[in-house]
Structure formats: structure tokens, C-alpha cells
Amino acid sequence: MNVGDMVFLRISPTSVGVHNVFYVSQVRVVTMSAQSEGNYAKALHNYYEATRPEIDPYDQSYILYNIGLIHTSNGEHTKALEYYFRALERNPFLPQAFNNMAVICHYVRLSPL
């Protein structure tokens, strides 16, 4: 990554919630860049780091969903299903997770649930 590609944030002392918003935004930019470049190992590492317990469950659901996407891309269907389920535990209104689970079940001929 070049210096021009990096995102620098100046974080002033604020509440924990505001800090988490900045943290999640920073992780998204760096991780999505790695993911779009095909650097799945780096993207997974960053997503795993971002699943800290103090992150909002709604934000966690999208992080877990994206981990599921990477495992799906890598053909690791069992792991992908696990992360889609975990995402839905935090955000049951994530239709793309349901869709991807159905596609995997159809693809590998598993019975849903």
C-alpha cells in the first residue's frame, strides 16, 4: 500500500461510540481495498481484528458477512455458512446473508438448516 492510498484519521478524545465509528470506517477502507485487490489473507486478518466485542452488533454483522464472502470465494463453504449465521445473530435483517446461504446449500446440495 502506498502512502497516498492510506487513510489517516486524527482522533480527538471523545466518547467510545464515536471512536468505534472512526475505527470501523478505517477498517472498512483498508480491508475492502485489500479484498478488492484479491489479498484475501490480509482482508481476513483485518476483519478478524475488527470483530472486537465493543463494536456495535449492527457493524459486526457486516464484518462477519464480509468474512463469509471471503470464505465463499475461497470455496470454504462450511466456514462461510458459520459466518453468515453469526452475522444473522447480530442482524436478522440481512437478506444477502440468507441468499448466500441458500446459494451455498444449493451448490453443495445441502439441506437448508
**Inside any domain, residue 32:** yes
Q: What's the grid cell of residue 42?
A: 490480509
pLDDT in tens, 29-68: 556 666 666 767 877 887 888 777 667 888 889 989 999 9
**Inside any domain, residue 9:** no
**Inside any domain, residue 4:** no
Residue 51: predicted pLDDT: 76
**Inside any domain, residue 22:** yes
Residue 89: predicted pLDDT: 96
Question: Does the reported pTM lie above 0.95?
Answer: no
Residue 93: predicted pLDDT: 95
Closest of 33, 30, 84, 29 to residue 62, by C-alpha: 84
Average confidence (pLDDT) over 70-74: 92
Is the pLDDT at 21 greater than 50? The verdict is yes
**Other CB atoms within 10 Å distance of the CB of residue 1:** 11
**Inside any domain, residue 11:** no
Average confidence (pLDDT) over 6-13: 36
Q: Which domain holds residue 91?
A: 16-107
Tell me, what CATH number does 65's domain have? 1.25.40.10
**Inside any domain, residue 20:** yes
**Inside any domain, residue 6:** no
Number of domains the chain is built from = 1
Query: How far apart are alpha carbons 6 and 9 in whole angstroms?
Result: 10
Residue 45: predicted pLDDT: 81
**Inside any domain, residue 5:** no
